[in-house]
């Protein structure tokens, strides 16, 4: 029986004709975290997945951006916590109990897990805020801006990549969700900047690991590369030189 006192978690998943990935993720959730409320958005027309557990299906008349989709899915939710989850994430256990412990501190507005490849290699999913100088260092191979894991306790980071984000609903609403002017890329960086600016902490929980089957479309398709560059320019125009102080190491 579900504990009525347990915090409620709403999960938002957006599919771009990624039915096999969505099906695998729903199977993981059914096995490891069956009590979450799932909001699935079909950004492009496709048959719905097999209903392994209840979910709300939203079908877009035309494709929407990352932030617009997740804002719409979570707009009317009364859950205590909002989780943004990419279809290409796989779960080997229930990540939520430990992540919720990371949110015990009322100053924390967002927690993220450690993200690894299927081979167990940690990804650069926790980073310092991008700066022009930092991007130059990344281009020449000196530093990609990642914040290295140390210990097993949650610790502050500047921002966490958008493939898995668990927000305190109060914090998500306080910054009015994602900025929908970003169509794809940098929405995750932008919302973390705004959380820190409103004195909400962002933390990585290194004791929780999820698997990411990365697609890296921006490295293979010109359209995605252009979206990436456009979002980068928008981010620097919006926040350049005005980044909030954080406690990230």
Q: Looking at residue 16, what is its pLDDT?
A: 92
Residue 122 lies in a domain: yes
Residue 2 lies in a domain: no
Place of tokens 């010109």: 222
Residue 91 lies in a domain: yes
CA distance 22 to 48: 10
- Beta pairing, strands 81-85 & 164-168: antiparallel
Element (H, E) at 20: helix 19-32
Residue 1 lies in a domain: no
pLDDT digits (tens, 9 = 90+) for 130-187: 887 767 776 666 667 788 766 789 999 999 999 999 999 999 999 999 999 998 899 9
Residue 248 lies in a domain: no
pLDDT digits (tens, 9 = 90+) for 174-218: 999 999 999 889 999 999 999 999 999 999 999 999 999 876 554
Q: Looking at residue 226, what is its pLDDT?
A: 87
Sequence-distant (≥ 6) Cβ neighbours of residue 196 within 8 angstroms: 158, 202, 244, 245, 246
CA distance 63 to 98: 34
Residue 141 lies in a domain: yes
**Per-state percent for the chain, helix, strand, coil, to nearest 5:** 30, 25, 45
Residue 156 lies in a domain: yes
Sequence-distant (≥ 6) Cβ neighbours of residue 131 within 8 angstroms: 243
Residue 177 lies in a domain: yes
Domain span at residue 114? 9-239
The total number of structural domains that make up the chain: 1
CATH at 22: 3.90.550.10
């Amino acid at each position: 029986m579900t504990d009525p006192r347990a915090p409620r978690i709403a999960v938002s998943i957006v599919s771009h004709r990624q039915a096999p990935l969505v099906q695998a993720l729903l199977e993981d959730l059914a096995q490891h975290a069956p009590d979450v409320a799932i909001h699935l958005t079909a950004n492009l027309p496709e048959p719905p997945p097999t209903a392994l557990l209840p979910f709300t299906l939203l079908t877009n008349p035309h494709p929407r951006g990352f932030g617009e989709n997740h804002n719409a899915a979570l707009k009317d939710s009364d859950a205590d916590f909002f989780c943004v989850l990419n279809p290409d994430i796989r779960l080997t256990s229930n990540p939520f109990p430990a992540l919720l412990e990371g949110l015990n501190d009322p100053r924390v507005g967002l927690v993220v897990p450690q993200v690894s490849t299927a081979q167990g290699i940690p990804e650069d999913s926790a980073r310092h805020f991008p700066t022009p100088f930092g991007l130059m260092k990344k281009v020449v191979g000196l530093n990609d801006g990642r914040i290295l894991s140390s210990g097993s306790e949650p610790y502050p980071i500047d921002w966490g990549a958008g493939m898995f984000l668990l927000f305190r609903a109060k914090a998500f609403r306080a910054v009015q969700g994602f900025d929908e002017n970003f169509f794809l890329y940098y929405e995750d960086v932008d919302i973390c900047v705004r959380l820190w600016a409103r004195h909400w902490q962002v933390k990585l929980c290194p004791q929780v690991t999820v698997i990411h089957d990365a697609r890296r479309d921006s490295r293979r398709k010109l359209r995605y590369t252009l979206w990436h560059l456009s979002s980068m320019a928008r981010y620097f125009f919006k926040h350049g030189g005005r980044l909030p102080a954080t406690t990230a190491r």
